[in-house]
Structure 1
């Protein structure tokens, strides 16, 4: 198995675990797992020069990062 395959598999597993755990979408663990998983998938796509997926995963990771910043600041918009 190539390095890019291992990185992609790890990223996808992290994304699927985040989904399967059924964590709240505004929780730090869920958002962090999305950021890491998307980042790994994007990086592995870059390694194999599959640029449409690099764009997709980079945007996903950036949105996850923005959400992670909001969650860490307590401004996720779900205040009661």
Structure 2
């Protein structure tokens, strides 16, 4: 489920991208997007680690975040199980 976009809509978007930028520019665009996403991910991880270090230095218990993440993952799994059965029935 990618933002409620189906196959034909993705193909149409790709067609427009090829028409606007040309087939030879697409690898460069994809590479640039990949690098940008990697930099964003690295910056996010750096910020998370700095917050974690600062909280530990201040004596704040951050163990509850693991519990919250586990609960969120359980809910995601339950939703995936539910939507998976619905998708199979369609």
Common fold: TM-score over 0.5: no
- Identify which of structures 1 and 2 has the higher relative contact order when contacts are C-alpha pairs closer than 8 Å and 6+ apart: 1
CA radius of gyration, larger in: 2
Q: TM-score, normalised on structure 1?
A: 0.34
Q: Which has the higher helix share?
A: 2
